[in-house]
Amino acid sequence: MQTQLSKKLGIEHAIFGFTPFPAVAAAISRAGGFGVLGAVRYTAPDDLARDLDWMQEHVDGAPYGLDVVMPAKKAEGPNHQKLTEADVEAMIPEGHRQFVRDTLAKHGVPELAEGEASGWRITGWMEQVARSQLDVAFGYPIKLLANALGSPPADVIQRAHDHDVLVAALAGSARHARKHADAGIDIVVAQGYEAGGHTGEIASMVLTPEAVDAVAPLPVLAAGGIGSGEQIAAALALGAQGVWLGSLWLTTTEADLHSRALTGKLLAAGSGDTVRSRALTGKPARQLRTEWTDAWDDPAGPGTLPMPLQGLLVAEAVSRIQKYEVDPLLGTPVGQIVGRMTSERPVQAVFDDLTRGFERAVDRINRIAGRSGQS
């Protein structure tokens, strides 16, 4: 499963695995792919440094990368002044806070213990937090920096290139892909409608070749709805130089969701059990459909707030829902590929399945083309 990009990065398989879990990212790199650690949950630079130290010790010398979230639009005050988290929190209307309280009370969600801080904060959506993460990351031999919300600022791209780090950006349309190319990034991740997390409205089968044509000769990674080797072969046939997989790793044994109930919901979910909702961050993000997403998407409710207000508003609520495993409200970002995630397996077993499926697909195409026995 080699492409020009995989050879450039020195990996065996052109499989890029995004995950919030260091153990999963390290296992992906050890298996011959390219592990990419999501940084958005790290509110303290020391915590990120701790986990990058751990990864450095457990990738067995294989390359890995980091994914940050730097929104294209900054949260700014008058005269473009930078806002603190407290400044942004003060912008949240009381009516929205009351809606959160009422929804949690309706489902009997207990309060956090006195003095217990929310364990889930999306301050990483704020640019200054992402920049502090980069200050840490560039002290490690990362080989790739990815940004989930558009092209990083020009100075960040230059800084990455000064450290010989490739820069990737996610795109939901050919227009977005061209903007990334114009900004000087190195890799476009064409993320289709089927993907988990923030995603656009164009399906992967349409988006991938459009992005490939739009930014050639820049490499494109296909993302969204990919969870088998046959689908990887299809992505490469469409011109991608690799695939970007995220949801598939959530039910690996190395993942640490801290909730058996949530793992159970993922294993039981079908491909139709997700929804694109602004409930989590304020931007459309595909996630498990729950009574929580239904409440926010109900026209009778107050509606969601823009990023980063929505993420700050629901942070404590999400922590409480997760801690107490309140089943009707319990969810997570995940793509439509969740329908294939039916058992817990080690990362290596997932890779073995992907490579076997890829070989089957290549053999099938060779037979169709009258080249049986050739590779």
How far is the C-alpha of 151 from the C-alpha of 215, rounded, in Å? 14
pLDDT at residue 131 above 50? Answer: yes
Mean pLDDT is lowest, of 124-133, 218-227, 251-260, for 124-133
In the structure, what pLDDT confidence band is assigned to residue 75 with cuts at 50, 70 and 90?
Answer: low
According to the model, what pLDDT value does residue 375 have?
Answer: 47
Task: Name the residue with higher pLDDT: 6 or 117.
Answer: 6
Phi, psi values for residue 342, rounded to 5°: -110, 0
How far is the C-alpha of 25 from the C-alpha of 20, rounded, in Å? 8
How far is the C-alpha of 46 from the C-alpha of 358, rounded, in Å? 40
How far is the C-alpha of 161 from the C-alpha of 144, rounded, in Å? 10
Closest CA to 251 of 342, 316, 190: 342
What is the token pair recorded at 78?
A: 């008058």
C-alpha 83: how far from chain center: 26
Contact 38, 20 (CB under 8 A): yes
Phi, psi values for residue 196, rounded to 5°: -80, 160
The model's pTM: 0.92
Region 90-106: what's the mean pLDDT? 96
* Dihedral sign for Cα atoms in the order 321, 198, 28, 135: negative
Region 39-55: what's the mean pLDDT? 92
* Cα angle for residues 141, 144, 148 (degrees, 5° grid): 135
Phi, psi values for residue 373, rounded to 5°: 90, -10
Region 104-124: what's the mean pLDDT? 77
According to the model, what pLDDT value does residue 123 have?
Answer: 47
